[in-house]
Amino acid sequence: MKAGKIDLMQGITPLLRAPVMSEAIGLEVYFKRDDMSPIGLGGNKLRNLEYLLADAVAKGCETVVTAASPRSNYLRIFTACCNRLKLKPVVIMRNGVPEGSPRGNYLCTKLLGAEIHFIDTDDPFDPRIMETMESFGAGAYVIHLALHSGPLASLGYIDAMAEMTKQFEEAGICPKAIYTAVGSGCTFAGLWMGAKLYNPMDVVGVSVNLDVEGFLRPHITEQIRKASVLWGSPLDVSPDELILRDHLKFPGYGMVNPICMDAIRKIAQWEGLLLDPVYMAKPAAALLEDVHKYQKGDVAVILYSGGAPNLFALDGQMDQYLN
């Protein structure tokens, strides 16, 4: 039986053509604007949480605990969605207490009222994170997107691909590929399954922090296998089928690099869209690198998964590229 979900999206998000960018690069580019979803400044994690928080509610949990970086879009949206459902949001932030005044996503998470705890580790798989989350008791629902929660979270982007398939038909287009940032991998996994089930196309994932060969490829393969069973349509997948890249994550998670800054500036000046350097700049830069692989008139989509608050947390790093 397919997993249940709670409607947090409240409708569909726009699929918008980027006319100036398309003319400039000779490729028809569309943005799927999941940053325009309605809760907590929007973003891709809303679709993931439709399934995860439905599971928490079904199990009678009143407290939900999760963990991520202070720069994470996820913690912001997680807290907002818990508030909407009258659940107590508890977040474990990695890397210790951030220096200086709260900014960006960290500021938003505080404003939304999460109960925040800090852990002094940079490793999202540090066993102390699960130990800390589980310390809130058996009555708390624990979400770890990169571990046990990933397959259920992935189902949200099967929904998204079904939604986009209708939008592609209405627009009269047949995209060759969709590009997305990859963190925990559950959004990529859902898109990949959705493409197999509804609309064949390449799904190109660009890592924001983790190595592809050392971790992401086998990890996402297993997520897809488990998630497809939850969906009710088991899929066989080979790791080699996944199009994943990690060359744009340098010099590290949440840090700015010149290739991504070039993509940010170009798209801002072409389309008036402000992409953040932590997440959205990665798939945008990858598409610009790939233009030569497509023929004129081909269509590619960028999943605009959110992240604008990071622009106001990384201004010091970005400034050197703006002169």
Is 3 contained in some domain?
no
Using an 8 Å Cβ cutoff, are 250 and 67 in contact?
Answer: no
Q: Which of 131, 136, 101, 130 is nearest to 115 (CA)?
A: 136
Nearest to 72 by CA among 52, 99, 92, 101: 92
* pLDDT for res 95: 87
Residues forming beta bridges with residue 206, ordered by sequence position: 181, 245
For residues 164 and 227, membership in a common domain is answered with: yes
> Are 162 and 198 contained in the same domain?
yes
Shared domain for 181 and 312, answered yes or no, is yes
Structural domains of the chain, count? 2
For tokens 């969605």, the residue is: 81
**Kind of pairing, strands 28-33 and 299-304?**
parallel
Identify whether residues 163 and 244 lie together within a single domain. yes
Final residue before a domain boundary, out of 143, 166, 195: 143
Q: How far is 221 from 290, CA to CA, in rounded Å?
A: 24
Q: Cα separation of 199 and 191, whole Å?
A: 10
Is position 228 within any domain? yes
Q: Cα separation of 271 and 26, whole Å?
A: 15
The answer to whether the beta carbons of residues 154 and 227 sit under 8 Å apart is: yes
Q: Rounded to an integer, what is the distance from CA 209 to the centroid of its chain?
A: 12
Do the beta carbons of residue 101 and residue 313 sit within 8 Å? no
Identify whether residues 37 and 70 lie together within a single domain. Answer: no
* Residue 121 burial (10 A CB sphere; 0-12, 13-18, 19+): middle
Q: Which of 94, 124, 143 is the last residue of a domain?
A: 143
Is there a domain that residue 8 lies in? no
134 occurs within a structural domain: yes
* 289 & 192 share domain: yes
Q: Indicate which CATH number applies to the domain containing 232.
A: 3.40.50.1100
Question: Domain limits at 289?
Answer: 15-41+151-321
Q: 140 - beta bridge partners? A: 63
Q: For every one of its 323 residues, what pLDDT tens digit does the chain have, with 9 covering 90 and above?
A: 578 999 999 999 999 999 999 999 999 999 999 999 999 999 999 999 999 999 999 999 999 999 999 989 999 999 999 999 999 999 999 988 888 899 999 999 999 999 999 999 989 999 999 999 999 988 999 999 989 999 999 999 999 999 999 999 999 999 999 999 999 999 999 999 999 999 999 999 999 999 999 899 999 999 999 999 999 999 989 999 999 999 999 999 989 999 999 999 999 999 999 999 999 999 999 999 999 999 999 999 999 999 999 999 888 898 888 87
Give me the amino acid identity at 183.
G
> From CA 87, how far away is CA 80, in angstroms rounded?
10
Terminal CA-to-CA distance of the chain, rounded, Å? Answer: 56
Are 134 and 155 in the same domain? no
Task: Give the residue among 158, 215, 166 at the shortest CA–CA distance from 186.
Answer: 158
User: CB neighbours of 204 closer than 8 A, spacing ≥ 6?
Assistant: 177, 178, 179, 180, 243, 245, 283, 286, 287, 290
For residue 63, the one-letter residue type is: T
pLDDT for res 126:
93
